[in-house]
Amino acid sequence: MAKVLVLYYSSYGHIEAMAKAVAEGARAAGAQVDLKRVPETAPQEVAQAAHFKLEQDAPVAKVEELADYDAILIGAPTRFGRMASQMAAFLDQAGGLWARGALNGKVGGAFTSSATQHGGNENTLFSMISNLLHFGMVIVGLPYSHQGQMTLSEVVGGSPYGATTIAGGDGSRQPSEIELAGARHQGELAAKLAAKIAA
């Protein structure tokens, strides 16, 4: 059975919801799944003033734990067209794992959220994917087997590079059913590939 980590950062809950869907998909594919988040790095007064969702059920991950998994899917919202610094700060502590090749050959994937449809979500995915490639990981995106990303009948996130959602300028839009299905599909594909690699 593949061990899958869904690791996320979320200020307002959109990525938290996507992470839960990624975890569901991986679980449905038979994996043992842990859902964890990275530490908040913004000062508490800043986070409170910006109304961050500071209470989240997922436990906070430790960097060394990354080596324990066959697949790691990371999710973080767009910040100026790249991943949120909270996620980057966590990954920047993985130099020791990188140096000893502890993540080489594992399965990786990225998912994100942006306020607007063209606010840099694909670039954000690549900011995370390039990090995973440096770790030596094999990337699973969101292929067109998730047909929902093709629709033009509603606003929809999702790209071949990974699952995405659109939060809206005021954050009021929640991940749609199609976007959550994309997240589940990416989790499922990563878990299936990890099981094959681990076999």
Ligand X SMILES: Cc1cc2nc3c(=O)[nH]c(=O)nc-3n(C[C@H](O)[C@H](O)[C@H](O)COP(=O)(O)O)c2cc1C
Q: Which residues bind ligand X (CB under 6 A)?
A: 10-15, 77-81, 113-116, 119-120, 167, 171
Contact yes or no for 198/30 (Cβ under 8 A): no
User: Which residue of the chain is nearest ligand X when measured via CB?
Assistant: 119
The residue type at 140: V
Q: How far is the CB of 69 from ligand X (least distance, A)?
A: 22
User: 4 near 73, Cβ under 8 Å?
Assistant: yes
Residue 115 or residue 198: which is nearer to ligand X going by CB?
115
- Taking the complex as a whole, how short is the minimal distance between the CB of residue 130 and ligand X, in angstroms? 17
For residues 154 and 170, which CB has a smaller minimum distance to ligand X in the complex? 170
Shortest separation between residue 166's beta carbon and ligand X, angstroms: 8
Q: Which residues contact 32 (CB under 8 A, 6 or more apart)?
A: 1, 2, 3, 4
Question: Residue 119 in 3-state DSSP?
Answer: coil
Closest to ligand X by CB, 1 vs 60, is: 60
Question: Which one, of 35, 31, 32, lies nearest residue 56 by Cα?
Answer: 35
Q: Which is nearer to ligand X, 8 or 135 (CB)?
A: 8
Rounded-to-integer distance, Cα 100 and Cα 129, Å: 20
User: Phi and psi of 96, rounded to 5°?
Assistant: -65, -40
- Minimum gap (Å) between residue 81 Cβ and ligand X: 5
Between 53 and 196, CB nearer to ligand X: 53
Nearer to ligand X, 10 or 131 (CB): 10
Q: How far is Cα 63 from Cα 98, in angstroms, rounded to an integer?
A: 11
Measuring CA to CA, which residue among 9, 5, 4 is closest to residue 75? 9
Question: What's the min distance (Å) between Cβ of 198 and ligand X?
Answer: 30
Return d(Cα 118, Cα 123) in angstroms, integer: 10
| Least Cβ distance, residue 150 to ligand X (angstroms) | 21
